[in-house]
Amino acid sequence: MYMKSKIHAKSQEKFLSNLLRSFGQDIGIDLGTANTLVYVKNRGIVINEPSVVAINTKSRQVLAIGQEAKTMVGRTPAHIVATRPLVNGVVSDFEVTEQMLKYFINKVTQRGFFHHWKTRVVVGIPSGVTEVEKRAVYDATRNAGVREVYLIEEPIAAAIGARLPIQEATGSIIVDIGGGTTEIAVMSLGGVVISKSLRVAGDKLNNDIIRYIRTHYKLAIGERTAENIKINIGSAYALSESMEMGVKGRDIISGLPKEVKVNDTDIRKAMANSIMQIASAVKTSIEETPPELIGDIMERGIILAGGGALLKGLDILITNTTRIPTLITSDPLTVVVRGTGMVLEDLDSLKELLIPLDINKKPNISI
């Protein structure tokens, strides 16, 4: 009899919580250094925009966020700056990060007390961030009106998104190459065995290209041009066919516009040092991995994620450096946000993979 009423009470509780949940929304956010993606349950990925904010430095007013702000990069008058609030994977400008998060969350949430009240958000953040920065992201999300906020390390979210069996007694390794950071994580039994966060990733490669073209062709180019070159003809490993493209910029001697032709060998040379740093960090992680897990990893392969995974020939280079087959996860730019969405589907059993935050219980703590 007692058992029966207990079961009854439990099912009533479940019914009530499901009913309340139907008012709210489940939202997953990949707060990347280059791109912010937002997933909403039952709707899929609804936002995929650059993590850029344009600010008027005189009035401190935010002028544009996302794609609109990115097109302003390098084109703004002196008092307008287009900044990336998450430089190098850390929250360098809290106020701007907060505005950006608020803007994206408000864009996808429905209005009304009940909606915000029952909205749950899982945010993926780089693994190298400090307690203060975690707190900053947490606060920013709460200030956007969300009651339940959970944080997850990006490589874990990426591994979940890539459907790696990270909760089983087997080893997996994921390498997430974003804009500001490269994150490497070896995982097993729901825990991170080895983790590395490197501040060498896509942005550094763009800067390498800018510097190389300046030195060798005496041509000044901007970041967006450098990124285009990287995506079009950049490679980590010599490919069977050579590639070439015309690059427009300003001659640094005459100050006049000029176009030069660059090829894949040039660009490979420009990026070689940074790419070796990424490959060496992967190799070191493998060397530090306990032998039992190495066997599993050799079978499963090294999984590449993040936009940097798309760099041509990077998988081949890492295979050659580590002697372990390396694969690119499908759709590497969205894997983190898809992972946060999968966490929301099964929050109860995956809770142990989230960053433990006492602040979930004590929201009024001050730091």
DSSP result, 179-203:
SS-EEEEEEETTEEEEEEEES-SHH
Nearer to ligand ADP, 309 or 359 (CB): 309
User: Which of residues 28, 32, 50, 234 is near Mg ion by CB under 5 A?
Assistant: 32
Distance of alpha carbon 104 from alpha carbon 119, whole angstroms: 14
Q: Which does 179 bind (CB under 5 to 8 A by kind): Mg ion, ligand ADP, none?
A: ligand ADP
Of 302-361, binders to ligand ADP (CB under 6 A) are: 306-308, 310-311, 333
Nearer to Mg ion, 96 or 305 (CB): 305
Provide the token pair at 138: 């947490």
Cβ pair 23, 115 in contact under 8 A: yes
Q: Does 28 bind ligand ADP (CB under 6 A)?
A: no
Q: Which does 230 bind (CB under 5 to 8 A by kind): Mg ion, ligand ADP, none?
A: ligand ADP
Q: Does 66 bind ligand ADP (CB under 6 A)?
A: no
Which residue has the closest beta carbon to ligand ADP?
A: 202
Provide the token pair at 180: 């500001």
Q: Does 178 bind Mg ion (CB under 5 A)?
A: yes
Q: How near is the Cβ of 361 to ligand ADP at its closest, in Å?
A: 29
Q: How many residues does the chain have?
A: 367
Bridge partner list, 244: 263
Cβ pair 185, 174 in contact under 8 A: yes
Nearer to ligand ADP, 129 or 293 (CB): 129
Q: Does 230 bind ligand ADP (CB under 6 A)?
A: yes
Among 199, 108, 158, smallest CA distance to 302 is for: 158
Residues 6+ apart with CB under 8 A from 117: 23, 24, 147
Q: Does 33 bind ligand ADP (CB under 6 A)?
A: yes
Of 154-183, binders to ligand ADP (CB under 6 A) are: 178-180
Inter-CA distances, 257 with 34, 218, 222, Å: 29, 11, 13
Chain residues that interact with ligand ADP, rule: CB under 6 A: 32-35, 178-180, 202-203, 227, 230-231, 306-308, 310-311, 333
